[in-house]
């Protein structure tokens, strides 16, 4: 049976806030929990914007890589106030997204969080004006490049969908003039790190294999 162990209540509350946002975006969301050295847990969710979101908290998870229901995990974190939490039964087969590598990330730039937040707000306003019949913005709009960042020999194009995911997960909206959003990348992946979490997306669309 999966188990989470937290040394500090604030870490459990941080994970709860992350999962609550994910469930608000998608009531059927699943959360992948991966333990790593230093008593850290990386929590991953696939957002409706085809962008992964992640948050790291201090704690331990057994087994070291397990996927659980977001709503069940959220309920467990809200009800159980002790250091040990049963996150619900494993749902590993429901996780369908590849995860990025842990190494070989290059820092491209540090952007003012206010600038990123303003761009997200403007994009959301445009998306509302162009929403489809189900209230969802068209894919062509989400794929539009809203930022081009260059550094360390890389030029990174950031699509609007990444800012949508950051706003939807509550990673933006700070009033701190000194706060930054860090842009890092590998040959295949793009990552935006803000104070409360990060979003990750492949830089290039994978082409289907020909049979």
| Model pLDDT, residue 5 | 96
List all residues 6 or more positions away from 183 whose beta carbon is below 8 Å from its beta carbon: 107, 108, 109, 110, 111, 149, 151, 156, 158, 190, 191, 192
Residue 42 CA to residue 85 CA, distance in Å, equals: 16
Tell me if residue 51 falls in helix, strand or coil: coil
Q: How many CA within 13 A on the CB side of residue 158?
A: 27
Alpha helices in 26-133 (DSSP H): 70-79, 113-129
Biggest CA pair distance of the chain: 53
**Domain 3-94 CATH (choose: 3.10.150.10, 3.40.630.30, 3.40.50.300, 3.10.20.30):** 3.10.150.10
Question: Which ranges in the chain are annotated with CATH 3.10.150.10?
Answer: 3-94
pLDDT digits (tens, 9 = 90+) for 126-173: 888 877 665 677 888 899 999 999 998 899 999 999 999 999 999 986
Q: What is the pLDDT along the chain (211 residues), one digit of tens a residue?
A: 899 999 899 999 999 999 999 999 999 999 999 999 989 999 999 999 999 999 999 999 999 999 999 999 999 999 987 889 999 999 999 999 999 999 899 999 999 999 999 999 998 888 888 776 656 778 888 999 999 999 988 999 999 999 999 999 999 866 677 899 999 999 999 999 999 999 999 998 655 545 4
What angle is formed at CA 6 by the lines to CA 2 and CA 8, rounded to 5 degrees?
165
Q: Give the pLDDT of residue 192.
A: 98
What is the C-alpha to C-alpha distance for residues 203 and 66, in angstroms, rounded to an integer?
26
Alpha helices in 80-138 (DSSP H): 113-129
């Amino acid at each position: 049976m999966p188990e989470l162990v937290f040394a500090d209540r604030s870490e459990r509350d941080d994970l709860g806030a992350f999962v609550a946002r994910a469930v608000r975006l998608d009531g059927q969301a699943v959360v992948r929990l991966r333990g790593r050295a230093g008593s850290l847990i990386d929590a991953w969710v696939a957002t409706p914007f085809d962008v992964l979101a992640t948050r790291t908290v201090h704690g331990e998870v057994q087994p070291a890589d397990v996927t659980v229901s977001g709503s069940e995990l959220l309920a467990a974190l809200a009800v159980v106030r002790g250091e040990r939490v049963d996150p619900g039964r494993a749902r590993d087969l429901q996780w369908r997204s590849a995860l990025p590598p842990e190494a070989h990330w290059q820092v491209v730039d540090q952007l003012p969080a206010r600038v990123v937040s303003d761009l997200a707000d403007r994009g959301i306003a445009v998306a509302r004006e162009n929403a489809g019949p189900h209230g969802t913005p068209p894919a062509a709009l989400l794929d539009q490049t809203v930022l081009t960042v260059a550094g360390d020999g890389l030029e990174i194009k950031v699509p609007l969908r990444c800012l949508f995911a950051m706003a939807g997960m509550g990673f933006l909206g700070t009033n701190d003039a000194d706060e930054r959003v860090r842009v890092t990348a590998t040959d295949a992946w793009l990552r935006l790190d803000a104070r409360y979490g990060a979003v990750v997306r492949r830089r290039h669309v994978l082409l289907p294999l020909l049979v």
